[in-house]
Structure 1
Amino acid sequence: MTLPSTLRGEGAVLRLTCDGPLTVLTLHSPPMNLFDKAMWAAWADAVAWLTAHPPRALLVRAQGLVVSAGVDVNVFAGLPAEDATAFWRTQLGITQALEALPCPTVFAAHSLTLTAAFELALACDLVVATPQARFGLVERKIGFTPAMGGTQRLAERAGPARARELVMTGDLYRGSVLADWGVVNALFPPDSFDTDAHAYAMRLAAGPTRAHEATKNVVRRYLDGGVSAADAALPVLAAAVAATIDHRRAVTAFLTDGPEHATVYHGR
């Protein structure tokens, strides 16, 4: 399982590492972690590799003072109008591939998180942040609209009125505000943020991976087709989880040791 060169080494703008069951993707393109051609190429490689080698959980984080100042505006200046559809279809595909991973995904935002980075955060299952972190879809500053799926995913989490507000004003919103909106799932203090975010993701990575995958599937069926669609899929999904080793071992441990049993899950 050799990593692509774009995801390893000192020159990599996006670095993939593993800590036991947890895989970590780190934006590392100082000082602003901009989404330029190199960053997007690395993200394409990353989601392709993760799709082929699904981890038990994924943590997306950033190195430096900011998570990301967003898209390098030179990208827009150098994009011919006739190529725009194909270009944005490719970038949206990164969002969709991240969203489709069969494991829990956590985006950790310790500070400024703009445009493409925020859109990828919204493709993750869970978002954690510091209360002071600032988020924005600020494409209006260049007369544009979010093109990696952020608007609709924000509407999915916070409602259409909030999505219109955030995108149309182009204002920045604190992590504490987005927690009130239901966009951010957990807030951690700045001093311990990296440790807290890593522990949060590791707890998911050490859990019943196949059950987490089923949960993601049920939620997606609901979002796509409502309660009836989720109900229609649930019996088959539940039966598949019931056949897993993790489930059978946990049931035995529960009956033997009670609800606080110390079963170690292996993701199968």
Structure 2
Amino acid sequence: MSPPLRLAHDGPLAILTMDSPPLNLFDLAMWDAWEAEVARLSDDPPRALLIRADGRVVSAGVDVRVFADTDPAEAESFWARQLRISQAVEALPCPTVFAAHSLTLTAAFELALACDLIVATPSARFGLVERRVAFTPSMGGTQRLAERAGPARARELVMTGALYRASTLAEWGVVNALFDPAGFHGAARAYAERLASGPSVAHTATKRIVRAYLDGGVPAADAVLPEVAARLVRTEDHRAAVAAFLSDGPEHRTTYVGR
């Protein structure tokens, strides 16, 4: 059988694709694949990561048989393991983009929320529907949704278990960009490629500053900023871009190398 998740590289861009037809369900094999591939990305980070899916849907979420088979005595360790996948995606030192062309439920939506940016078709639907099995999202989706859209919206989405179109979530600040369905995969890839070929060390610095802010507010971000800026000053990309700006102006065509 083909693996449910495959990792490919195209120059500085890594592409992680879910491919477990027909529904890209999160069963034990899917979670094991995510754990392995995210560990590989953590050990050897790309300059940007695009997460996408093949098939009619992005994912119909968790395979309900997982709930039926989970031993209550092992539930805490089981869900701690799955949460660590979201945490590892979030901690990757590169821009991460989740591309949703259609239905994106539960675990897949939670992983999208662990990414830096979410792009989607306007009609793609998202949901944290665990209430249907008297459960709550347990890969970190609720709190990450609250970060993006506020606690009231997080409670609404989780407690109602309703599905929301990407166009609505874009208004909430959850989805960052909407692309036409006809050229969606190409547009999502171009969006990620632009990050991968851009000043990716500076993008990593931006991630660190935002994370410091989320963890401790403006004072925490201010505390790390001088050291972050000093590191960027010493990079090849910064020095090359400054020189190109001075010689060619703001529309210079510097090739960034990620160092």
TM-score normalized by structure 1?
A: 0.96
Aligned twin of 1:223: 214
Aligned twin of 1:254: 245
1:184 aligned to which of 175, 187, 190: 175
1:207 aligned to which of 194, 198, 211: 198
User: SS of the counterpart of 2:119?
Assistant: strand
User: SS of the counterpart of 1:106?
Assistant: strand
Q: What's the offset of the Cα at 1:245?
A: 0.3
Is structure 2 residue 224 aligned with structure 1 residue 233? Answer: yes
Aligned twin of 2:38: 47
Whole-Å Cα distance in 1 between the matches of residues 248 and 240 of structure 2?
12
Is structure 2 residue 256 aligned with structure 1 residue 265? Answer: yes
**Per-residue deviation, residues 121-140 of structure 1 (Å, max 9, x unmatched):** 00000000000000000000
Q: What's the offset of the Cα at 1:93?
A: 0.2
Is structure 2 residue 94 aligned with structure 1 residue 115? Answer: no
Q: What's the offset of the Cα at 1:150?
A: 0.1
1:53-72 to structure 2, matched below 5 A, reads 53-72=44-63
Aligned twin of 2:125: 134
User: SS of the counterpart of 1:131?
Assistant: coil
Is structure 2 residue 89 aligned with structure 1 residue 98? Answer: yes
2:19 aligned to which of 18, 28, 53: 28
Letter in 2 for 1:32: L
Letter in 2 for 1:126: L
Q: What's the offset of the Cα at 1:210?
A: 1.1
Letter in 2 for 1:207: G
Letter in 1 for 2:50: L
Letter in 2 for 1:46: E
Whole-Å Cα distance in 2 between the matches of residues 101 and 244 of structure 1?
20
Aligned twin of 2:149: 158
User: SS of the counterpart of 1:183?
Assistant: coil
User: SS of the counterpart of 1:132?
Assistant: coil
1:243 aligned to which of 223, 234, 238: 234
Could you tell me the percent identity over the aligned residues? Answer: 70
Q: What's the offset of the Cα at 1:85?
A: 0.4
Whole-Å Cα distance in 2 between the matches of residues 117 and 136 of structure 1?
9
Q: What's the offset of the Cα at 1:209?
A: 1.4
Whole-Å Cα distance in 1 between the matches of residues 22 and 133 of structure 2?
22
Whole-Å Cα distance in 2 between the matches of residues 48 and 62 of structure 1?
19
User: SS of the counterpart of 2:188?
Assistant: helix
Is structure 2 residue 165 aligned with structure 1 residue 174? Answer: yes
Whole-Å Cα distance in 1 between the matches of residues 245 and 39 of structure 2?
38
- Where do 5+ consecutive residues of structure 2 fail to align? none
User: SS of the counterpart of 1:71?
Assistant: coil
**Greater displacement, 24-33 / 12-21:** 12-21
Whole-Å Cα distance in 1 between the matches of residues 43 and 219 of structure 2?
31
Q: What's the offset of the Cα at 1:247?
A: 0.3
- Where do 5+ consecutive residues of structure 1 fail to align? 1-9
CA RMSD of superposed structures (Å): 0.5
Whole-Å Cα distance in 1 between the matches of residues 213 and 198 of structure 2?
23
User: SS of the counterpart of 1:35?
Assistant: coil
Whole-Å Cα distance in 2 between the matches of residues 93 and 238 of structure 1?
29
Letter in 2 for 1:220: R
Whole-Å Cα distance in 1 between the matches of residues 202 and 229 of structure 2?
8
User: SS of the counterpart of 2:138?
Assistant: coil
TM-score normalized by structure 2?
A: 0.99
Letter in 2 for 1:142: V
Aligned twin of 2:74: 83
How many residues matched?
259
Letter in 1 for 2:52: R
Letter in 2 for 1:84: A
